[in-house]
Structure 1
Amino acid sequence: MAEFDVTYDEVADAAYIRLLEPGIPLVAARTYACHPVRVDGMINLDLDEHGRLVGIEVLAARAKLPPAVLDAARRIGLE
């Protein structure tokens, strides 16, 4: 199973799931905002120039992601 880089900002309660292998630069050509009512929150999908999913931003992450994902996430925004 692939491992993903997950970052979490506790102050903003926002998580980012990077779907690219380490060392590959993440360049999002466009962002698709999921319909907040349909996903019961704010989730944004980052796509590369070929339309491939490269990252997922999850706002209100504590309510949307399993606790184990956030526990294992690299913390940011605490500086």
Structure 2
Amino acid sequence: MTDVRVTYDEAVDAAYVHLTEPRAHVTSARMYPCDPVDTDGMINLDFDEQGRLIGIEVLAASSQLPEYLLRSAERPDCGGA
């Protein structure tokens, strides 16, 4: 099973699911905003220059993602998980 890196910033209630190699420094070339119907959040899809999906940003993450995932996510505001 592959581990996926997830970061969560509780101050702004935003999570990011990283879909790249853990040590790779990949920048987003294009962002596609998604506004799911009947939800309280927003999802942004980030793509690299080759059009590959590199990450998923979830706004209002506490209402969109499972609590266990947010508890185990890295916290950029705390220097790690």
Query: Which amino acid is the alignment partner of residue 22 of structure 2?
Result: P
- Percent of residue pairs bearing the same amino acid type: 51
Q: Distance in 2 between matches of 1:50 and 1:30?
A: 10
Query: Which amino acid is the alignment partner of residue 42 of structure 2?
Result: M
Counting matched residue pairs gives 78
Does 2:67 correspond to 1:70?
Answer: no
What is the deviation of 1:23? 1.4
Q: Which has the higher contact order (CA 8 A, sep 6+)?
A: 1
User: Aligned with 2:71: secondary structure?
Assistant: helix
Q: Return the TM-score normalized by structure 2.
A: 0.86
Q: Distance in 2 between matches of 1:37 and 1:57?
A: 13
What is the deviation of 1:39? 6.7
Q: Distance in 1 between matches of 2:11 and 2:19?
A: 23
Q: Which residue of 1 aligns with 2:4?
A: 4
8 Å Cα contact 1:9-1:78 kept in structure 2? no
Q: Return the TM-score normalized by structure 1.
A: 0.88
8 Å Cα contact 2:29-2:49 kept in structure 1? yes
Query: Which amino acid is the alignment partner of residue 30 of structure 1?
Result: R
Q: Which residue of 2 aligns with 1:28?
A: 28
